[in-house]
């Protein structure tokens, strides 16, 4: 009988986890963190000890939930990616946007080629300064070697642009991702 009670308690926990995951579905990184911080504070419970954040704790637990979503991982937003890659120019940010839309974005947002309307939308979401001439941003980035034109104002990230985002940004970062200090001469 004790075994049944323990299992019933575990089932209730898994059900509660499923409810939480469903409630967080569709929210992005910072919004998830705000919700979890509020709930932890509202329930007057301490933060989990150890190295896991509340988001990572929920993600780790979610991997064990058989009846819920296959796994819960925090969706990386364009703002998160911009902060990680730290582009310094509109050309670099355009490459980050194209990479985000082709590789990282939720399936419903994915696309292989982008135009200036995409740049405006995602520059604003990432809070990156809009260039003076948004219409020239993609042709300029193509001139820099990051894009190939596919016609009708559409551009596709090429291998040079892909490598810039994946391997070249942030500039001055070592393999661990930490930015190295410039040596003074």
CATH number of the domain enclosing 159: 1.10.10
Instruction: Give the pLDDT confidence score for residue 159 in this predicted structure.
Output: 97
Output the average pLDDT for the chain.
80
154 assigned to some structural domain = yes
Q: Residue 110's domain spans which residues?
A: 78-168
Q: Do 100 and 147 share a structural domain?
A: yes
Same domain, 163 and 83: yes
pLDDT number for residue 165: 96
Task: Kindly report, residue by residue over 142-161, the tens digit of the pLDDT.
Answer: 999 999 999 999 999 999 99
Question: Which of 15, 35, 62 is where one domain is finished?
Answer: 62
pLDDT band, very low/low/confident/very high, at 68 (cuts 50, 70, 90): very low
pLDDT (tens digit per residue) in 103-139: 999 999 999 999 999 999 999 999 999 999 999 999 9
pLDDT at 26: 83
- Considering the domain architecture, whether residues 48 and 84 belong to the same structural domain is answered as no
Answer yes or no: do 124 and 45 share one domain.
Answer: no
Provide, rounded to the nearest whole percent, the portion of the chain with pLDDT above 90.
Answer: 51
What global pTM score does this model have?
0.58
Domain check: are 96 and 159 in the same one? yes
For residues 11 and 44, state if they share a domain: yes
Confirm whether 181 is domain-assigned.
no
Q: Give me the number of domains the chain comprises.
A: 2
The DSSP line for the chain is: -HHHHHHHHHHHHHHHHHHHHHHHTT--HHHHHHHHHHHHHHTT-PPPSSS--HHHHHHHHHTT-SSS-S---PPPPHHHHHHHH---SHHHHHHHHHHIIIIIS-GGG--SEE-HHHHHHHHHHHTPPPPS-HHHHHHHHHHTTSEEEEETTEEEE-HHHHHIIIII-STTB-TTSPBPPPPP-
């Amino acid at each position: 009988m004790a075994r049944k009670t323990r299992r019933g308690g575990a089932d209730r926990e898994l059900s509660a986890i499923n409810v939480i995951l469903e409630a967080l579905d569709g929210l992005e990184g910072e919004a998830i963190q705000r919700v979890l911080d509020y709930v932890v504070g509202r329930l007057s419970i301490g933060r989990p000890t150890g190295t896991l954040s509340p988001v990572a704790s929920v993600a780790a637990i979610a991997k064990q939930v058989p009846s819920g979503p296959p796994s819960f991982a925090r969706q990386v937003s364009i703002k998160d990616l911009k902060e990680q890659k730290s582009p310094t120019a509109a050309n670099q940010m355009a490459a980050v946007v194209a990479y985000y839309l082709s590789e990282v974005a939720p399936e419903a947002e994915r696309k292989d080629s982008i135009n200036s309307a995409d740049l405006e939308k995602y520059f604003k979401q990432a809070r990156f300064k809009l260039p003076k001439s948004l219409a020239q941003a993609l042709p300029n980035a193509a001139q820099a070697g990051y894009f190939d034109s596919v016609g009708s104002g559409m551009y596709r990230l090429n291998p040079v642009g892909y490598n810039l985002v994946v391997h070249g940004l942030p500039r001055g970062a070592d393999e661990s991702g930490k930015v190295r200090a410039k040596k003074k001469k």
